[in-house]
Amino acid sequence: MGPGFAQFLLKRIVGFAGVLLVLALMIFVLARVVPGDPARIALGPTASAEQVDQLRSEMGLDDPLPQQFVHFVANAVQGDFGISLISGRPVAQEIAAILPATLELVLATLVIMLLVGLPLGVLAARYRNTWADTLLRIVSLLGVTMPSFLFAILLQLFAAYFLVSWPILGRLDNALSGFDGPTGLHTLDGLLTGRIDVTLSALQHLAFPAIALAMSGIGQIMRITRSAMIEHQRRDHVQTLRSFGVPGRVVTFRYLFKLSAIAPLTIMGLEFASLIGNAFVVELIFSWGGFASAGLEAILQKDLNAVMAVVLVSGCFFVVANLLIDVLIGLIDPRLRMKESR
């Protein structure tokens, strides 16, 4: 990889650290200007003024704003987001308990997007302007334009009529509800603990919500992969390969696909970050009980510490996902990192 790659990676890390700092500042300012006293909301309307003042002092709300921000960032770096104003439990513990559910859902969604969107995009480009291409473009358009919650409802109706025994609520069967694995990812924990029944149950419960969430991303990846493949087909080196008699299948999958994978990978990084925070509707429909739906509940209840933690954790996933995608793209196409290291 060499020093050029190290410089490329260092620039990315510094840039994304700055993004996180700006995000922390933005959410801190927004949390302070939202109407309503967090201490009063936590204690309820029957609390006395002395009790409210005492809680405000404990939360540090009486300190100068710059001091509050420094305190917030210092604690957040250590994984301390304070106490939930609604439940009274540490916010970090609550997030640790519910985050694996959303992570499992989002990771399964990305796998479906990758396994379905990329091949269909390649297929549409290979058979450009044929009936197959037209059909695939219609499918991608439906995936992009229809909201995820509509797919979720349609899948539940489909199960109700045709797959009566298929589970559509929760993460595990009722008989396995007490299962507690080391990672919180039931599909993985079942394998780690030798509980194949847990893994199979988790995969069944995971299928429909993951498919509902993946439809939009599948449509985007199909369209972008198709466009990238068609664009690279016009390049001189591709035309040279064809003129030398290299089979079309080899040109498509060995040369074109590698160059065309950069744009879909970028989309997948953005999708991963956005799904962490935007999966709440699908989670509510399937009673998934994950991080996204808990974040929505925290916003509705004006749980200040929980809201700030949810936004900051979502931002961290956005940064980490895009950092990994940038590194992967830099490995696929060294010209990009060489260009930035000049």
pLDDT digits (tens, 9 = 90+) for 63-76: 777 887 888 888 88
The whole-number pLDDT of residue 36 equals 64
Tell me the C-alpha distance between 72 and 98, whole Å. 22
pLDDT in tens, 280-308: 888 888 888 777 777 777 777 777 778 88
Those residues with Cβ within 8 angstroms of residue 315's Cβ, 6 or more apart along the chain or in another chain: 19, 20, 23, 24
Look up residue 267 and give its amino acid: I
* Residue closest to 42 by CA, chosen among 99, 77, 86: 86
% of the chain exceeding 90 in pLDDT: 1
**134-139: average pLDDT:** 86
pLDDT at residue 8 in the model: 67
- What CATH topology corresponds to 98-340? MetI-like fold (1.10.3720)
The per-residue pLDDT for 197 is 86
Q: What is the pLDDT of residue 43?
A: 67
What is the predicted pLDDT for the residue at 129?
81
Q: Where are the domains of the chain?
A: 98-340
Contact 120, 185 (CB under 8 A): no
pLDDT in tens, 226-278: 887 777 766 666 667 666 666 666 666 666 776 777 777 777 777 777 787 67
